[in-house]
Amino acid sequence: MLTVIRPRRLLVVLAGMSLLLGAVSLVLNLVVLGADTPGQLAAGMRSGVLDLLSVNREANLPTWFSSALLLAAAASAAGVAAWAHRNRDRWRWHWSVLAAAFGYLSVDELLRLHERANHQVGKVVETSGVFTFGWWVLAAPLVVVFAAAYLRFLRGLPGRIGLLIVVAGTLYVGGAIGMEVVGSWLADDRGTLSAPYVLATTAEEVLEMLGVVVFLYAVTTYANSRMSVVDVPVASAATSLDEAADRGGRGRHDDAARRTATAPGVSELNDDTGIGGARAA
């Protein structure tokens, strides 16, 4: 459950993995660019380590890791949403929508659904400069509307949690849209086989991953502060345990009384004792 996760350890491990993947990808791509014939070297590595570890490629380790992070974010938000619905929390639907949004982003990370919008944007604006990869033109207004709709939600959360979610959103959107705009301009101006473009795309992916990691840290911290491990009030649990102990005690005393009553030389129970005492015949 969310309440048995150690948020700080989660943050350190996942952030470390994100930075490591970004660093390995950057080094590999810069090695390719530094070769005398980068095109031939890239072609030679395409079916090997570069395809497996580059954040600029699809259906590989960084892609699956990023998608898994988003899926974990969806699951954590869904867990809080389920708790919020049971307790009629005022923000229950906000948590539910967050879970659905991260679920979609997880699928999008694998299938690159957003890139299909490039063709549609190309019908309206020239696909050059910052519009080389123009899908962000459609995404940016949605992000603004989403952020505006969640202002009260963020204010309603404990101060530190709300701030962490704002930081997470800033990192993620800054990478997904901000660095995408920079990468679009660099792709048109310098080409995709250039160090500035590789740096921009690596920063884009790493910022996205770090944003999701911070969100996971925020949600698990919130869950640990608001939800019990078994989601049962402590007082009710203590009462149930006391009642069970009383029933067990009464059962043991009754059994002892029956054994005494049937023992040789005992004629009747002394009911006045209340604990199964006996009187000899």
Read off the pLDDT of residues 189-220 as tens digits, 9 standing for 90 and up. Answer: 999 989 999 999 999 999 999 999 999 999 99
Query: In terms of Cα–Cα distance, which of 140, 166, 139 is closest to 153?
Result: 166
pTM: 0.78
CA distances from 59 to 54, 84, 106, 107, 111 (A): 10, 35, 13, 12, 8
Share of the chain above pLDDT 90, in %: 60
In the block, which residue shows the tokens 């080409």? 191
* pLDDT band of 229, cuts 50, 70, 90: very low
User: Above 70 in pLDDT, residue 271?
Assistant: no
Share of the chain above pLDDT 70, in %: 75
CA distances from 157 to 111, 213, 277 (A): 33, 19, 60
Query: In terms of Cα–Cα distance, which of 274, 220, 216, 226 is closest to 250?
Result: 274
Cross-strand partners of 266: 280
Q: What is the mean pLDDT of the chain?
A: 83
Cross-strand partners of 277: 270
User: Above 60 in pLDDT, residue 142?
Assistant: yes
pLDDT digits (tens, 9 = 90+) for 48-68: 788 899 998 888 999 999 999
**SS3 for 70?**
helix
User: Above 80 in pLDDT, residue 280?
Assistant: no
User: Above 50 in pLDDT, residue 276?
Assistant: no
As given in the structure block, the two tokens for residue 191 are: 């080409």
- What 3 state SS string does 162-191 have? HHHHHHHHHHHHHHHHHHHHHHHHHHHHCC
So where are the chain's domains? 2-226, 246-280
pLDDT digits (tens, 9 = 90+) for 155-186: 999 989 999 999 999 999 999 999 999 999 99
Using CA atoms, how far apart are residues 186 and 16, in angstroms rounded to an integer? 28
